[in-house]
Structure 1
Amino acid sequence: MRLSKKAAGIVAAVTLFTVAAPAAAAVASPRSTCYGGRVCLYAGYDYNRGQVDHWRDFVQDDSNLADNNWLNWDFSNSWRSMDNDTSSVRNRIGCSTTLWQHPGFTGSHSTFTHNSNDGMLANNAVGNNRASSLDIWCR
């Protein structure tokens, strides 16, 4: 009887973790989505559709994307640097954001207003696979 109570406790804990874990991760943005209050960057064109799902979301400036790695679709670390590797962006932060070509917010840049998307950064001044810093600015 004692063993079955212990087993029931383990099953309850596993069930609780399984239910709670996705809720904690729901603020992040794999599979082409981008939740409100975030700027989402994607390694592939068209928000990674049909490609390896490397993505990352931000809620504040980042002066050097080389310090970050892409996340995989399952929220695990891809160990692939984000520096000079962004191909598309979604802006849901509530204000404008700028992608800069070089660290420290320098070089060519492209600004995206709230609720804007760009599935092909090659058409912008910052260019494809050239972003090295992200500036989020609210007036």
Structure 2
Amino acid sequence: MRLFKKAAGFVAAAALFAAVAPAATAAASPRSTCYGGRVCLYAGFDYNRGQVDHWRDFTKDDSNFADNNWLNWDFSNSWHSMNNETSSIRNRVGCSSTLWQHPGYTGAHSTFTHNSNDGFLANNAIGNNRASAIDIWCH
């Protein structure tokens, strides 16, 4: 009888692990690689790993995110505003770029050099879900 209880406990633990394991190994966004010549922003930490896949890429300045919506994984419009919703960034544009807290390039800001990644903007001056503009220094 004791062997049966141990086996039942093992089966229950294995079933619990199987139910939890897929969430822990969820893939990053298909857009998480970020093509060269672009700065890619993501609505979720760690480039949307295991989260709703809202992303957007930029090749030039944008002084106000309020008029931009996130894109879905399939490049369709999510109809969800990106203003104050950025949680991670990849910079592949070839020069530095700065995220700004307020439209018009004002307020707290964080600068990211070419080929830099940050999957957790909460540890920067810009913070999590506070970006409202991007300034790309190439031009």
Q: RMSD of the alignment, in Å?
A: 1.2
The answer for the alignment partner of 1:130 in structure 2 is 130
With the length of structure 2 as denominator, give the TM-score of the two structures.
0.78
The answer for the alignment partner of 1:120 in structure 2 is 120
Shift of 1:30: 4.2
Structure with bigger gyration radius: 2
Which amino acid in 2 is paired with 1:33?
A: T
The answer for the alignment partner of 2:54 in structure 1 is 54
Uncovered stretches (5+) of structure 2, i.e. residues with no partner: 1-28
Distance 1:79 1:30 in 2: 19
SS in 2 for 1:47: helix
Q: 1:35-72, CA deviations, whole angstroms, 9 ceiling, x for partnerless residues?
A: 00000000000000111100000000000001100000
The answer for the alignment partner of 2:96 in structure 1 is 96
With the length of structure 1 as denominator, give the TM-score of the two structures.
0.78
Shift of 1:32: 1.4
Sequence identity of aligned pairs in percent?
A: 85
Detail structure 1 runs of 4+ shifted over 2 Å in the superposition.
none
Uncovered stretches (5+) of structure 1, i.e. residues with no partner: 1-28
Matched positions, count: 111
Which amino acid in 1 is paired with 2:70?
A: W
